[in-house]
């Protein structure tokens, strides 16, 4: 197959990517969003493996009838011939890496992962981030092979799938998610306000949201805020106070507790371990 087609629904949309480099077995595409440059919602499938790495929050990804948000700091793998796409206009900076199926299957065998597939997102390591930054400067095709090896090794360690199938709650939950995305920087935003967008009672909304997104509304809101925080943390001139206030957290203790509960480590450790 033409690996370039794995990056989008059609040629007009693919042309919006800032840079695409395609070798015989690997294609890497960098998307830089702006008010004048967005990708329209789409779903498609292809024969290649694909790895999506967001550098800004992706509001709602779709994967084989499952839904989840694309958080900063994670890589989202796509297995061959699985329908996937985005539910909203895509205005997030990201990298899409498409890899020929036979090439990657041979690499999986070489790395002792024969017969295994990618089941969940995984953290972008500092090593992978460094290689991606190097590639964006020198465009060295040899780096692509190293990047793919890391994607295989890191991605096939993960087995737990947290994606959630679509349900009849789709339309009303979508309204609430949009409201969260538009208002998450407000530290006084309440779940009661969010639930009002769905036209459900607060109690029914919280149950429906969890069934729909496999997460509680407050955890989902905090994931959005933490995704913004991880993006801001790349700027070393910003203190953690700057980071949490710009991300919508009311206090540093709330920020630290949410970060540790959801990400697994505290913000200082994350900055040291995963940010160059």
Clarify whether residues 123 and 223 are in a common domain.
Answer: no
- Of 246 and 88, the structure prediction assigns the larger pLDDT to 246
Q: What is the CATH number of the domain that holds 40?
A: 2.60.120.10
> For residue 230, what are the domain limits?
167-274
Q: What is the CATH number of the domain that holds 249?
A: 1.10.10.60
CB 180 within 8 A of CB 225: no
- Does 79 reside within a domain? yes
Is it the case that residue 3 has pLDDT exceeding 90?
A: yes
pLDDT in tens, 145-171: 999 999 999 999 866 676 666 665 566
Quote the pLDDT of residue 166.
63
Nearest 5°: the CA angle 91, 264, 275 is: 55
pLDDT in tens, 214-228: 889 999 999 999 999
Clarify whether residues 105 and 10 are in a common domain.
Answer: yes
Clarify whether residues 131 and 184 are in a common domain.
Answer: no
210-217 long-range contacts (CB < 8 A, ≥24 apart) are: 211/167, 211/169, 212/67, 212/164, 212/167, 212/169, 212/170, 212/173, 213/67, 213/68, 213/164, 213/173, 213/177, 214/68, 214/162, 214/163, 214/164, 217/176, 217/191
Clarify whether residues 37 and 57 are in a common domain.
Answer: yes
| Helices within the chain (DSSP H only) | 11-14, 101-110, 126-138, 141-155, 170-183, 191-196, 202-213, 217-232, 240-247, 252-263, 267-274
Clarify whether residues 142 and 198 are in a common domain.
Answer: no
CB 51 within 8 A of CB 27: no
pLDDT in tens, 119-139: 888 999 999 999 999 998 888
Quote the pLDDT of residue 154.
94
Clarify whether residues 58 and 35 are in a common domain.
Answer: yes
Q: Which of 126, 155, 184 is the last residue of a domain?
A: 155
Clarify whether residues 112 and 229 are in a common domain.
Answer: no
- As given in the structure block, the two tokens for residue 3 are 């690996």
Q: Which of 155, 185, 219 is the last residue of a domain?
A: 155
**Into how many domains does the chain fold?**
2
pLDDT in tens, 168-188: 556 677 788 889 999 999 999
pLDDT bin (cut points 50, 70, 90) of residue 91 is confident
Clarify whether residues 23 and 97 are in a common domain.
Answer: yes
3-state secondary structure of 153: helix
- Does 162 reside within a domain? no
- Does 47 reside within a domain? yes
pLDDT in tens, 37-75: 888 888 999 999 999 999 998 888 888 878 788 999 999
pLDDT bin (cut points 50, 70, 90) of residue 112 is very high
Taking the C-alpha atoms of residue 66 and residue 86, their distance in angstroms, rounded to an integer, is 11
Clarify whether residues 122 and 151 are in a common domain.
Answer: yes
Clarify whether residues 151 and 181 are in a common domain.
Answer: no
Q: Which of 114, 129, 155 is the last residue of a domain?
A: 155
Clarify whether residues 185 and 265 are in a common domain.
Answer: yes
- Does 54 reside within a domain? yes
Clarify whether residues 135 and 228 are in a common domain.
Answer: no
Is it the case that residue 98 has pLDDT exceeding 80?
A: yes
- Does 160 reside within a domain? no
- Does 41 reside within a domain? yes
- Does 141 reside within a domain? yes
């Amino acid at each position: 197959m033409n690996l370039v087609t794995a990056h989008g629904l059609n040629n007009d949309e693919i042309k919006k990517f800032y840079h695409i480099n395609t070798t015989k077995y690997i294609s890497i595409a960098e998307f830089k969003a702006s008010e004048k440059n967005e990708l329209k919602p789409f779903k498609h499938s292809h024969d290649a493996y694909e790895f999506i790495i967001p550098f800004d929050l992706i509001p709602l990804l779709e994967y084989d009838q499952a839904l989840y948000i694309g958080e900063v700091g994670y890589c989202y793998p796509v297995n061959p011939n699985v329908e996937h796409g985005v539910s909203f206009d895509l205005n997030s900076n990201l990298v899409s890496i498409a890899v020929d199926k036979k090439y990657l299957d041979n690499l999986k065998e070489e790395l002792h992962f024969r017969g295994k597939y990618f089941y969940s997102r995984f953290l972008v390591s500092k090593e992978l981030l460094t290689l991606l930054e190097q590639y964006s400067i020198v465009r060295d095709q040899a780096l692509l092979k190293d990047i793919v090896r890391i994607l295989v090794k890191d991605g096939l360690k993960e087995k737990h799938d947290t994606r959630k199938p679509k349900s009849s709650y789709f339309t009303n939950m979508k309204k609430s998610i949009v409201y969260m995305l538009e208002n998450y920087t407000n530290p006084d935003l309440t779940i009661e306000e969010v639930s009002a967008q769905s036209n459900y009672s607060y109690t029914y909304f919280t149950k429906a949201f969890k069934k729909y997104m496999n997460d509680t509304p407050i955890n989902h809101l905090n994931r959005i805020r933490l995704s913004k925080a991880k993006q801001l943390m790349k700027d070393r001139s910003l203190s953690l106070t700057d980071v949490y206030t710009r991300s919508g957290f009311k206090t540093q203790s709330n920020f630290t507790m949410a970060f540790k509960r959801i990400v697994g480590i505290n913000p200082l450790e994350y900055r040291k371990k995963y940010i160059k």
